[in-house]
Chain A
């Protein structure tokens, strides 16, 4: 599977939008972009995934660039409970989820 690059950490004020970037410049045509997050001492939580179109659900929005080499996860109104490590993963439909180091998002008052 293609690798991803994420900033190691980010801060966001509560109530503001959190925009988490991810680079996946070697992504292949059949690989999806998945986002998970892990709150301390819990298992990863699925957030959203997409192939090439932008996606939105009750948790977040996923913006994928036209060339698919990067994407951004948007949490529209971050709360303290969104403090977590966010993982961007690319994977073919039947492939394994391989976790990188992710982005540690700290939401502050």
Chain B
């Protein structure tokens, strides 16, 4: 079945550094990718939607200058958390979908656990 690969699976870094998370669709063309964030004991919250070759659309309350999203190809999207601080510590999950087929479901990566010290 369809697979979405996310890397790294976990990262620990110092406050003030930037962290890049990669999301790849392995066996389908992801015309659209989604980035979610999940805090402990809470549900997934959509942060932004990105279409290949165009700017991402951010949900209300998500800072686009802090969470930089690049979707340069049909198989790769990246999320960069810039100048990360402890409050950015969370579980980040990407998702991908082939929007040319409305019957195809959306598939998720296994998430990246980000801890900012």
Contact = CB atoms under 8 A, between A and B. Distances in A.
Given A94-B99, A96-B34, A97-B106, A42 B46 contact: no
Interface in B81-117: 91, 93, 95, 99, 102-103, 105-111, 113
Interface residues of A, number: 20
Contact of A43 (B43, B102, B109): B109
A96 B49 contact: yes
B34 A99 contact: no
B105 A96 contact: no
Contacts, number: 46
Contacts of A93: 102-103
A36 B97 CA distance: 15
A97 B34 contact: yes
A94 B108 contact: no
User: Which DSSP category, helix, strand, loop or mixed, fits chain A's interface?
Assistant: loop
Contact of B6 (A43, A94, A100): A43
Interface in A31-72: 34, 36, 38, 41-46, 49
A106 to B, nearest CB: 15
Contacts of A87: 43
A45 B108 contact: yes
B41 to A, nearest CB: 10
Given A97-B95, A101-B43, A42 B110 contact: yes
Interface of B: 4, 6, 34, 36, 43-46, 49, 91, 93, 95, 99, 102-103, 105-111, 113
29 contacts: A34-B105, A41-B91, A41-B113, A42-B111, A43-B4, A43-B6, A43-B95, A43-B109, A43-B110, A43-B111, A44-B95, A44-B108, A45-B108, A46-B108, A49-B105, A93-B102, A93-B103, A94-B99, A94-B102, A96-B46, A96-B49, A97-B34, A97-B46, A97-B95, A99-B36, A99-B43, A99-B44, A100-B43, A101-B43
Closest 10 CB pairs of A and B: A43-B108, A93-B102, A99-B44, A46-B105, A99-B43, A44-B108, A43-B110, A43-B111, A43-B93, A43-B109
